[in-house]
Structure 1
Amino acid sequence: MNLPEISIKRHVFAYMLSAVLVLFGIISYKDIGVDRFPTVEFPMISITTILPGATPEIIDASVTNLIESVVNSTPGIDHIQSNSSAGVSSINVRFNMDKDVNVAFNEVQARVNRVLRDLPDEAEPPVVAKIEIGALPVMWLTLSGDRTLQQLNQYARNVVKKRLETIDGVGEIQLGGELRRTIRVNLDPVRMKQLGITVPDVVQMFNREHLRLPGGFLIKEGRETLIELDLEYHNPDVLGDMIVSYSGGAPKRLRDFAGIEDGLADYRQLARFNGKPAVGLGILKVQNANTVAIVDEIKRRLNEELIPRLPPGIELGIAHDDGDLTQGVIDSLEEHLIAGTLLTALVVLLFL
């Protein structure tokens, strides 16, 4: 008995089978990820290492070449591309298409761990990550207003970012144009020479005086309390009183030969919106998450929770989002599905 014969003689069974197929289609349609482009995963791994203040030549000799030499032995490599710039070493490893990206990641990570002890002491641990094609923010928010850039940075990181990163489907929130608080100590070479103080003396003083240490436990009346010795200087005025050395019993303090500035990090990046300095927040979603649902939930929280509670003079707005474009693609697809279904039903009705 073939399919047409079953459909004619057992039409109730055919109706139920069609209904089951339609039901599974509806369930799949609701749970499917929604994005502008399909998810494509290539076997590509990136290795990023930061060595603050190092020149490209030092980065290439002491970091890039060292990591490349151990990563080269990973099986299945198709191509390696490296870049040594001021303070940063970037290595991209592309594997053959039949290589499993998770296996490649574990193999590269294991080889990088072998050379950690050989890297410069000042270098940060290398960051090994999978390269995701199209892993760009689905929405950019801007925070601006009549506040200092440091105050905007703090509000964006401590309030806006924490409120939005709990949304289901949000994988990461990047801060664009962020400049963190930095206390600078500007040494006066002439004054240092007069006082007989060298740069190594200052560095040794910071290593000895400006630090945090574990203080052990305090046990009292059956209770145990963890003690932390916070010896860091958080106030620039107090930092100036730090004693570097003694001369004839008189202390030589930091403010005697250095200017202390409470400011921001170097301007390596800048964000502006409508001609005003701003802090950008880029929302990245997890793989296969629904872009439209994430954007809609972000807009809801902005309108109901964040914008009404903004301090006076601060503005929080949307600079870009992929939700409208993705929704337009989905609407067009739904129209095509409905039109195709109606035309198919009409043809079957007329000719069968």
Structure 2
Amino acid sequence: MNLAELSISKRTITYFSTVLLTVGGLFSFFQLGQLEDPEFTIKTAAIVTSYPGASAKQVELEITDRIETKLQEMSELKQVYSSSRPGLSIIKVDIKNEYWLDRLPQVWDVMRKKIGDMEDSLPPGSGKPQINDDFGYVFGFMLALSGDGFSAAELETYAKDLRKELQVVSGVARIDLWGVQEKRIFIDVAETQVTQLGITKEDLLRTLRNQNIIVDGGNVDLQDQRFRVAPTGEFTSPEAIADLAITSSAVSNVSQTLQNRQRSQGADQLLHIRDIGT
């Protein structure tokens, strides 16, 4: 007896099975996930390390091999493949299939710790390994913010305020800002004047770095109260940078030359950044 004959002779069972499969199929269909951007897990990370001036062979021996050796200590690792170029090392790792979204963050933390432990063994002149493990992020919306008459700094402030409001929306995991201008102050120095005064670029960098450093001023105990001492002098405006006195061994020699001229003009005997640049 074949299946067709059995279906005809057992009509009750055939009708019941047909209705059961139909109802079960409809119920399963309406229970299927219907996400516009469904979640998916990417189990790949990339470690990029720069080594300026090194050849491809030097990058492989001094950077790539050392990082790969450390990564192979991970039991979660499935595969490692790398590419060594002049001045650049790129290593990609795949994690085993049994590690899903709920366990991957811990795996990435272990990998970062492994690489952090061996950073001191990298050669001088090499950059810090950059780890990228967020390939799975999907941006669903792109919003543009514009405003006539507003500066770039004001637009950035409004964009950050908008980001704070959007981050509390259910389902939002990450918000990135694109097109943000970096805050920079340029100092244009007259090369001829600087050369005559014997001031180098390192003198200017050292002066700026030492002035804007944050140090602990300590505390003052008065009876039953303790007051914190907060040193001043940090940069608050471009004018504060212009008024900064340059610290250099050459400045002490130059000050003797400028002393008579500055006295006659009623100015102080210090050489400021505004005297040599704009």
Normalised by the shorter chain, which TM-score bucket? 0.5 to 0.7
Answering whether residue 40 of structure 2 is matched by residue 44 of structure 1, we say: no
Instruction: From the superposition, tell whether residues 222 and 91 of structure 1 become closer, same or farther in structure 2 (CA, over 3 Å).
Output: farther
Answering whether residue 118 of structure 2 is matched by residue 115 of structure 1, we say: yes
Larger relative contact order, structure 1 or 2 (CA cutoff 8 Å, min sep 6)? 1
| Structure 1 match to 2:231 | 229
AA aligned opposite 1:41: T
SS of 1:214's equivalent in the other structure is coil
Q: After superposition, give the CA deviation of every residue in 1:89-122 in whole Å (9 maximum; x if it has no partner).
A: 6735132654747375245323311233356899
Q: For 2:55 and 2:212, locate their aligned partners in 1 and report how far apart those are by CA, in whole Å.
A: 28
- Structure 1 residues 95-134: aligned runs within 5 Å: 95=94, 97-98=96-97, 100=99, 102=104, 105-117=108-120, 126-133=129-136
Higher Cα radius of gyration: 2
Unaligned runs of 5+ in 2: 1-11, 73-77, 260-268
| Structure 1 match to 2:93 | 94
Q: For 2:202 and 2:224, locate their aligned partners in 1 and report how far apart those are by CA, in whole Å.
A: 46
Tell me the CA shift for residue 44 of structure 1: 0.7
Q: For 1:188 and 1:61, locate their aligned partners in 2 and report how far apart those are by CA, in whole Å.
A: 43
Answering whether residue 169 of structure 2 is matched by residue 150 of structure 1, we say: no
Instruction: From the superposition, tell whether residues 176 and 59 of structure 1 become closer, same or farther in structure 2 (CA, over 3 Å).
Output: farther
SS of 2:174's equivalent in the other structure is strand
Q: For 1:120 and 1:193, locate their aligned partners in 2 and report how far apart those are by CA, in whole Å.
A: 35
Tell me the CA shift for residue 233 of structure 1: 1.1
Tell me the CA shift for residue 174 of structure 1: 0.6
Tell me the CA shift for residue 242 of structure 1: 0.6
- Structure 1 residues 182-261: aligned runs within 5 Å: 182-220=184-222, 222-224=224-226, 226-245=228-247, 246=252, 247-248=255-256, 250-259=269-278
Contact 1:42 1:97 in 2 (8 A): no
Question: Identity of aligned pairs, percent?
Answer: 18
Q: For 2:183 and 2:226, locate their aligned partners in 1 and report how far apart those are by CA, in whole Å.
A: 35
Q: After superposition, give the CA deviation of every residue in 1:184-216 in whole Å (9 maximum; x if it has no partner).
A: 222221110122211121122122212112233
Q: For 1:99 and 1:66, locate their aligned partners in 2 and report how far apart those are by CA, in whole Å.
A: 32
- Structure 1 residues 30-69: aligned runs within 5 Å: 34-36=35-37, 38-48=38-48, 57=53, 66-69=62-65
Q: For 1:160 and 1:126, locate their aligned partners in 2 and report how far apart those are by CA, in whole Å.
A: 33
Q: For 1:207 and 1:61, locate their aligned partners in 2 and report how far apart those are by CA, in whole Å.
A: 37
**Structure with the larger strand share:** 1
Q: For 1:163 and 1:226, locate their aligned partners in 2 and report how far apart those are by CA, in whole Å.
A: 35
Identify the range of structure 1 (70-79 vs 186-195) with the bigger mean alpha-carbon deviation: 70-79
**Scaled by the length of structure 1, what TM-score is found?**
0.53
Instruction: From the superposition, tell whether residues 40 and 161 of structure 1 become closer, same or farther in structure 2 (CA, over 3 Å).
Output: closer
Unaligned runs of 5+ in 1: 9-13, 260-352
Instruction: From the superposition, tell whether residues 90 and 161 of structure 1 become closer, same or farther in structure 2 (CA, over 3 Å).
Output: farther
Identify the range of structure 1 (107-116 vs 205-214) with the bigger mean alpha-carbon deviation: 107-116
**What is the count of residue pairs matched by the alignment?**
232
Identify the range of structure 1 (216-225 vs 246-255) with the bigger mean alpha-carbon deviation: 216-225
Q: For 1:120 and 1:165, locate their aligned partners in 2 and report how far apart those are by CA, in whole Å.
A: 41
Q: After superposition, give the CA deviation of every residue in 1:234-286 in whole Å (9 maximum; x if it has no partner).
A: 21112111111441262111111122xxxxxxxxxxxxxxxxxxxxxxxxxxx
Instruction: From the superposition, tell whether residues 216 and 209 of structure 1 become closer, same or farther in structure 2 (CA, over 3 Å).
Output: same
Instruction: From the superposition, tell whether residues 118 and 139 of structure 1 become closer, same or farther in structure 2 (CA, over 3 Å).
Output: same
AA aligned opposite 2:113: A
| Structure 2 match to 1:72 | 68
Instruction: From the superposition, tell whether residues 40 and 218 of structure 1 become closer, same or farther in structure 2 (CA, over 3 Å).
Output: same
SS of 1:142's equivalent in the other structure is coil
Cα root mean square deviation, aligned: 4.1
Q: For 2:82 and 2:60, locate their aligned partners in 1 and report how far apart those are by CA, in whole Å.
A: 12
**Scaled by the length of structure 2, what TM-score is found?**
0.64
Q: For 1:236 and 1:59, locate their aligned partners in 2 and report how far apart those are by CA, in whole Å.
A: 42
Tell me the CA shift for residue 67 of structure 1: 4.5
Instruction: From the superposition, tell whether residues 118 and 150 of structure 1 become closer, same or farther in structure 2 (CA, over 3 Å).
Output: farther
Tell me the CA shift for residue 132 of structure 1: 2.9
- Structure 1 residues 161-180: aligned runs within 5 Å: 161-180=163-182
Contact 1:213 1:230 in 2 (8 A): no
SS of 1:128's equivalent in the other structure is strand
